[in-house]
Structure 1
Amino acid sequence: MHLQIFLTLSAVLVCDAKLPRLNRHTQPNELSNPTQNAQAQRLIQTEAKTVKTNRIIDQYRVRHRRDVFDSKSYESSLIWAHSERLDENGDVLLRWVNSDSSITFRLEARTRGYVGLGFNSARNMRGADLVVAWVDDRNGNAQVLDCHGPEFDDLAVADDVQNYELISGYQNDTHTTVEFRRQLDTCDKQDFAIGEDTVQVLWALGPEGSDGELPKHVKSGSRPLRLLQPVAKPQVPLSNWDVRLNNLTIPHDMATLFWCKIFKAPDLPKKHHIVGYQPIIDSRPIKNKVPVVEKDSLSPVHHMVLYECAEDPDKQLWNDWAEGDGFFGPNRPSQWATCVTPIAAWAIGSKGEYLPENVGIPVGEKSGVSYYMLEVHYDNQALHEVLDSSGIRVYYTPVLRAHDAALLGAGIGVSALHVIPPKQRQYRTVGICSPECTESTMPEEGINIVSVLLHAHGTGRKIALKHIRGTQELPVISEENSYDARYQQSRIVPGGRKFRKGDTLITECTYDSTTRDKPILGGYSASQEMCLSFVLYYPRTELAGCYSMTPVKEFFETFGVREFYGLSMLQVENIFLSSGNLENLPPQLEIDMQQRYSEETAMQGDDQGVGLMKELIIREPVEFQNKTFMAHLNEMPWSERLLTEQIEKTLYKGSHMTFCKKRDDSWGAPIQIQNYPNYTEIISNETAEKSCHYKSVRLPSVTKASATSATYNKLTAILALCVTVIVAR
């Protein structure tokens, strides 16, 4: 006992004597540097965690057998439901399958050292949930170590409670393979709760021979994934129809390009159902006037949408278009405006989709649809010249599903009237599908929503599809609270959702624009933004699109502008309603505006009014007079929080111009300007107390040390930590 007291006091005295050396140049009456104190405290915490981690690893290394649970009843018959390459070269392959409460992983990596797997909302180790696995070179035993990343350091620290259960593991001359499982929610603050949202899956490979050691990794990366995905690939014979462009040259002087082409449906003897699709990405950079295949070259294809076209008696004209190469988006024939019903929507990161097993989209002339339009958006910010033959592979079957389904587009109409201020952490915008639209286009029994694809660009962080009935909000239909534009897959609505005539859909997007110095405008370019949801539902109706945007007059008044030179607000509104088309303006004004920004418009492609924003010259009020609206927008004091909050509130809760488009491009309901719906918000139950109905797995003690021995070990660790601090300082 006296020895214990002596060692404890010695440790405290030594540490206290040395810590003031952190401020060697501090004057007698000078306050100590809080930054240096914080750094010292952080070092102490890190060293303590490292000591604990090394102790736990040492326990692993002296064990003579693996601790495994009985896998015969569960894992022996596993079929891995999902498989993803975590890196571009395929050196790290992750397979997994989940039950209602747990998830099981198989990690195959090109390494003979350790392999690390992690889960986080960010793309780094700080604050991440980590698991480190290896196979001991001496005895072939596999081990897994439950770890986490400290908030301020890129390292792995062992958790207090070990919640990963080893199943098996082995290695050969090149690879290490380990299988393990965990609960989806361990109720452990050091673990990441795996749910419906997108998660950043981290990976790391240790140097050869790093068994039971955690030196810095030699390779690492991250990949956004949703781990709780349903498996919906049909178990019936499928035919495929490749809807793709043919050697389209993407010019080097266009940062954004939309290309559209008509396709004729397959000649089918009877009704078939489309049940899925996959992207075909075929982009070859042109070098010295020759297209080349490069392993690491990035395709400029940003997203693709396949639309049904309403029937037209002039079959010959549509056949001719189907034989042609297509058109630059803004120059496509006016008849193509009837191609408005989406049936497949692909964006970066998606591997494609299979529809739920109870629905299919009718295809072919026998079911009333003969022609389709493929719209491909190219994001060519690097201004490379590329030869492209990309498109979509459509899967269909004669084995009909129970219901004919359709896709409905909803959200904010794509235009420059959709503005996100810079330097904002959480800025919200909203698009409304009005009750007048759903009342006039949906059957008496309503529709059933089965899945949703949520879409925004790079600054999008959250997207939610809300459901309003009368004056009451119902549970959210679909939401993504960790949105990553690099990974866009549709989301099944568990159990489906009944949506009635007269109900309202609201698509809400939250953006993080803290890295932007200037306002972001709505548009098709990857540097601009969108807020859309593609809703898969049955039974099929005539409704194709249901959007809203801020009315033009209210929009400009929100930013303090009342009048422009040369254009009335009605003329400006007509330009935006025609997607930025400058036709039907006064002749000289049209010529002047076309000449002033024709070069930039060519660079941006279909700009949806972005160019117009740079040419509108303010007349009223006097304090903004003779500025372009874009210059005025750029010069606003966005750092003033009250200003930004007021703009967000006005554009969110204020007036909305609603649009209701049918499949034949006619209006399902008149264009209306209406106030944001008044409803009682649903009370969130996120704070409800969670219960854990399982026992956490703790590492067993490898020695039956006496209390004195255990205390001695703790004191030794304290002394070692102090010595480390002394040496470091």
Structure 2
Amino acid sequence: MGTTITFSVVGVVYSLIAGVTSLPGGPLPPMAFRHFAVLDQRGDFHLLWTPGEQDVVFEIQVATRGYVGLGFSPNGGMKGADIVLGWVDAQGDVHTHDRYATGMMIPVIDDSQDVEILGGYENETHTVLRFARPWNTCDKEHDFQLTKTCMSLVLDYIFDRNTRISCIVDSSGLRLFLTEDLREFEAGVLILGHMVSPSHIIPPGKEWRTVGHCDGRCVEQALPPEGVKVFRGLLHAHLLGTDITLRQIREGRELPVVFKDMNYDFNYQQGRILKEEMTILPGDSFITECGYDARHKQTPTFGGESTQEEMCIAFLTYYPRTDFTFCLSGSDLPSIYTSFGIQEVYGELDMGKSSRVNGNALLEKMIEKKEKNKKETAIEVDYAKIYKGVVAKAPQDLQNVSLYDLILDPKTWQDEKLLARLQEQTAFGPHTMFCGMRGNKVFDGYPRSYKYPDFLAIKLLDEECDANHGAEAYVPVTSEDEGRKQDEDVNADVGEVEEEAAGGSGASEASFLVLAVALGFVGLWRP
């Protein structure tokens, strides 16, 4: 299986002690590398690599006479990076360190040295190192496990179009091809995940989980008997997103995970083209899981179109095209307002009226703006204001208080028990399912209520490091466990509730890999 790797450029200059491993330097034997990338605009840093069965062979060619390095990072930053550092001394010997970073400081030498140096040299202009790194070193404390399923390639010098840095050229664009030779199949796009609506709530000051469903009944009536083939996927959240996983369930058993990004970064979104197509059959169901980091936020974040709002979406490109275009869910309204302590409300609201599935709210806002001021083009829609219509009837101490008022009250988000209930209900409580086709038309029987499914969840085991078991096992997941009981005592211990709510996903497969490349610029070391 081929490998594509995501890159992130980070500066490195070290004061180092003697090398942990060394080898006499000299000319390197020719090697036909399968992949090559230039990692900076000046063309000073070249990376070549070839994936093997047990390891990956890397060669770095850098226009410097000094220390060079390559770091494997979960997020493109220094903290948590697994770093290979090397140099050629005055005698021509090549040295390498296997190190790990705890922050913006000199990385620590790892007790377990898991890099095999293959050679290197230094001339008047360049330093060249060649080394091998196992996919899995079994050093779970400090090493980053590489995977063969990453398909994303990104340079991380972070270009911000608003910064107007003169030395950076934006060469991005779009290339279109026109042909008279039509392909056999037309492709369609299927949207899975949480519906874009205020039912998607992310509290301030917290790390949070969101779940969106697609039920088998929807897929059953939407697809032909032979199913469809997925050849590309894009996982999508906004600025708070940290990880996204798409889980596929067939006949009560979870299938191996195909789309998963545990190091999601809004700035590095890229569709992933599959080498082996993913089959969706009638009756398959899906769970889209998203993680968020809102610890820096002071106010809640809701689902919405703006990047300051959030999404939890998987876009799958498939063939042959059908009318099937979306299968989304969101927490039902009672699950939300009961989490805030409201027992009964005056009337009920249709959350679908404020979702992306129903564009009437946005359209009405556009018409209103146009009538008031024809010159005004920017439109903001606060979908969360729908909660003003959710007014408490009981209990007595909340009577006539709207859910909107509770949500905007900073004291609300200091209640740990409330937060635990909200996480439990939004992640594992009942949802409202939307299943539809082009033109935002829904299939018969939708929207409808849906509860978290019972299934055998896949749990990937580390067969390379634990020889006593296979690489794959299944564990039962039911609505009665993992914190998913609907009648659970809301006054249960907060720690227990949080622990249960965080459980449930043993799946681990395709994760995106970020390589933090150490270039040797002093200024980049400064915090």
TM superposition score normalised by structure 2: 0.70
Cα–Cα, structure 1 residues 644 and 432, in superposed 2: closer, same or farther, change >3 Å? same
- Decide which of 195, 214, 217 is 1:433's aligned counterpart: 214
Between the aligned partners of 1:607 and 1:297, the Cα distance in structure 2 is 35
Cα contact 1:656–1:674 (8 A) shared by 2:
yes
- Residue 184 (structure 2) pairs with residue 410 (structure 1): no
Partner of 1:529: 310
Q: Deviation per CA, 1:606-652: give whole Å up to 9, x if none.
A: 53613545x55745345345655444114354344433222122122
Aligned with 2:106: secondary structure?
coil
Residues 457, 529 of structure 1: 8 Å contact kept: yes
Q: Describe the SS at the equivalent of 1:516.
A: coil
Residue 86 of structure 2 corresponds to residue 133 of structure 1: yes
In the alignment, which residue of structure 1 is the partner of 2:206?
424
Q: CA deviation at 1:446?
A: 1.2
1:83 is aligned, of 30, 37, 40, to 37
1:194 lines up with 2:164 in the alignment = no
CA apart distance, 1:145: 0.7
Distance in 1 (alpha carbons) for counterparts of 2:203 and 2:378 = 21
Equivalent in the alignment of 1:632? 406
Q: Is 1:163–1:186's contact at 8 Å kept on the other side of the alignment? A: no
Q: Give the Cα separation in 2 of the matches to 1:199 and 1:626.
A: 53
Query: Contact 1:144 / 1:164 at 8 angstroms: preserved in 2?
Result: no
1:143 matched residue in structure 2: 94
Equivalences, count: 445
Shift of 1:436: 2.4
Match of 2:457 in 1: 682
Instruction: Tell me which protein shows more helix as a share of its residues.
Output: 1
Q: What SS does the corresponding residue of 2:336 show, helix, strand or coil?
A: helix
What is the CA distance between 1:443 and its match in structure 2? 0.7
Partner of 2:57: 104
> Secondary structure of 1:54's match?
coil
Task: Output the CA distance in 1 between the equivalents of 2:349 and 2:169.
Answer: 43
Does the 8 A contact of 1:164 with 1:182 survive in 2? yes
Change beyond 3 A, Cα 1:157–1:609: closer
User: CA separation in 1, counterparts of 2:377 and 2:297?
Assistant: 21
Describe the SS at the equivalent of 1:476.
coil
Q: Give the corresponding residue for 2:328.
A: 547
Give me the identity figure in percent.
Answer: 28
Does the residue aligned with 1:682 lie in a helix, a strand or coil? strand
Which residue of the other structure, out of 115, 128, 131, is the alignment partner of 1:163?
A: 115
Structure 2: runs of 5 or more not aligned: 1-13, 468-527
* Residue 25 (structure 2) pairs with residue 66 (structure 1): yes
Contact 2:392–2:402, Cα closer than 8 Å, also in 1: no
Q: Deviation of residue 689 (structure 1)?
A: 5.2
Deviates more, 1:465-474 or 1:409-418: 465-474
Aligned 8 A contact 2:225 2:282 in 1 = yes
Shift of the alpha carbon at 1:546? 1.7
Matched, 1:605 2:384: no
Instruction: Summarize the alignment of residues 572-651 of structure 1 with structure 2, pairs less than 5 Å apart.
Output: 574-576=353-355, 578-579=358-359, 581=361, 605-607=379-381, 609-613=383-387, 616=389, 618=391, 620-621=393-394, 622-624=396-398, 629-635=403-409, 636-651=411-426
Give, in whole Å, the separation in 1 of the partners of 2:25 and 2:461.
38
Q: Residues 475-526 of structure 1: CA distance to partner in whole angstroms, max 9, x if unpaired?
A: 3232122222221223345633322112112211122222222221111222
Distance 2:60 2:344 in 1: 62
Q: What SS does the aligned partner of 1:540 have?
A: coil
8 Å Cα contact 1:142/1:170 also seen in 2: no
Question: What is the Cα deviation at residue 195 of structure 1?
Answer: 1.6
Contact 2:255-2:458 at 8 Å conserved across structures: no
CA distance in 2, matches of 1:439, 1:671: 13
Q: Is the 8 A contact 1:563 1:569 kept in 2?
A: no
Deviation at 1:473, TM superposition (A): 2.7
Aligned partners of 1:575 and 1:609 also within 8 Å: yes
* Equivalent AA in structure 2 for residue 431 of structure 1: G
Give the Å deviation of 1:553: 4.8
Give the distance between the partners of 1:546 and 1:639, measured in 2 at CA: 34
In 1, distance between residues paired with 2:318 and 2:425? Answer: 32
Mapped partners of 1:397, 1:99: distance in 2: 38
1:681 counterpart SS class: strand
Q: Residue 657 of structure 1: CA displacement?
A: 1.9
Residue 503 of structure 1 is aligned with which of 284, 293, 298? 284
The answer to whether the Cα contact below 8 Å between 1:655 and 1:673 also exists between their aligned partners in 2 is: no
String of CA shifts for 1:160-183, please: whole Å, max 9, x gaps.
43513234444444x544343322
Partners of 2:33 and 2:101 in 1: how far apart?
34
Evaluate the alpha carbon distance shift between residue 100 and residue 155 of structure 1 in structure 2; reply closer, same or farther with a 3 A threshold. same
Secondary structure of the 1:518 match is coil
Q: Secondary structure at the match of 1:651?
A: helix
| AA of the residue aligned to 2:116 | Y
Match of 2:348 among 555, 569, 573: 569
**1:284 Cα shift?**
8.1
1:663-678 correspondence runs (5 A)? 663-678=438-453
Give, in angstroms, the shift of residue 444 of structure 1.
0.8
CA displacement 1:661-697 (0-9 Å, x = unmatched): 22344333442222224322324132545379xxxxx
CA distance 1:547–1:448, change in 2 (3 Å)? same
> CA–CA distance in 2 between the matches of 1:77 and 1:688?
30
Q: CA shift at 1:532, angstroms? A: 0.3
Q: Which runs of 5+ in 1 are unaligned?
A: 1-49, 203-220, 225-280, 286-292, 300-350, 352-389, 585-589, 693-729
SS of 1:409's equivalent? strand
Matches within 5 A, 1:24-43: none
Match of 2:296, SS?
coil
* Structure-2 residue corresponding to 1:56: 19
* Gap change, CA 1:503 and 1:617, over 3 Å in 2: closer
Q: Do residues 450 (structure 1) and 228 (structure 2) align?
A: no
Answer whether contact 2:75 2:265 (CA < 8 A) is retained: no
Measure the CA separation in 1 of the matches of 2:161 and 2:75.
30
Q: Take 1:415 and 1:553, find their aligned partners in 2: how far apart are those partners?
A: 15
Give, in whole Å, the separation in 2 of the partners of 1:498 and 1:84. 36
CA distance in 2: counterparts of 1:616 and 1:548, whole angstroms: 21
Query: What SS does the aligned partner of 2:19 have?
Result: helix
Per-residue deviation, 1:396: 5.5
In structure 1, distance between residues paired with 2:268 and 2:422 = 30
Q: Is 1:295 aligned with 2:248?
A: no
Q: In the TM superposition, what whole-angstrom CA distance separates every residue of 1:590-612 from its partner, at most 9, and x where no partner exists?
A: 9xxx89xx99xx89835361354
The letter of the residue matching 1:76 is M
Does the C-alpha gap of structure 1 residues 436 and 396 become closer, same or farther in structure 2, counting only changes over 3 Å?
farther
- 2:340 is matched with which residue? 559
